[in-house]
Amino acid sequence: MNLGMFFALLGAALAVGMAGMGSSYGVGVASEAASAVLSNDPSKFGKMLVLQLLPGTQGLYGLIIAVMVLLNVGILGGTPVGDTMLGLQYLSACLPIALGGYFSAKSQGRVCAAGCSLTAKRPEESSKAIVSASLIELYALLGFIVSFLMVINIV
């Protein structure tokens, strides 16, 4: 394997790995809070499920970028990367979703946990908890969009 391919694959691994780690942490934190609520009132399952799922989207964004890179660099199709600079471009293109996904998912998990507490006390306010958590999603989407645009424009 040449150095260019190594850097491209490192980028794909970081995109899926870091965004996935952030998502697993965020979903875990939100799920712990939701479990506490559901132990007292199982009828709130639907509202809790939305708050549990929200931090998981960053992992999906990272996976999409990683698959796009693998399609472009000859692993799942495309032309194998031979140039070190090209590999570094792919690595750079993966960083926005890797870092943005990691940090936003962790933060979103904490906000969703707080939203579970709010919903436990005032179920009619669950939409406010979802909106608060969705504000953090914007930054994951920005990282995804930047990574997407960079990957599709690498020549």
Helix axes 57-72, 84-121, angle to 10 degrees: 160
pLDDT for 146 equals: 98
Helix/strand/coil for 82: coil
Evaluate whether 134 touches 54 at the Cβ level (below 8 Å): yes
Cβ atoms 123, 47 nearer than 8 A: yes
What's residue 48's pLDDT?
Answer: 93
Tell me the pLDDT of the chain (155 aa) as tens digits. 699 999 999 999 999 999 999 999 999 999 999 999 999 999 999 999 999 999 999 999 999 999 999 999 988 877 788 889 999 999 999 999 999 999 999 999 999 999 999 999 998 888 999 999 999 999 999 999 999 999 999 97
| pLDDT value at residue 82 | 80
Q: Torsion angle, CA of 73/99/27/68, rounded to 10 degrees?
A: -20
User: What's the predicted TM-score (pTM) here?
Assistant: 0.91
Q: Please report the pLDDT score of residue 62 as a whole number.
A: 98
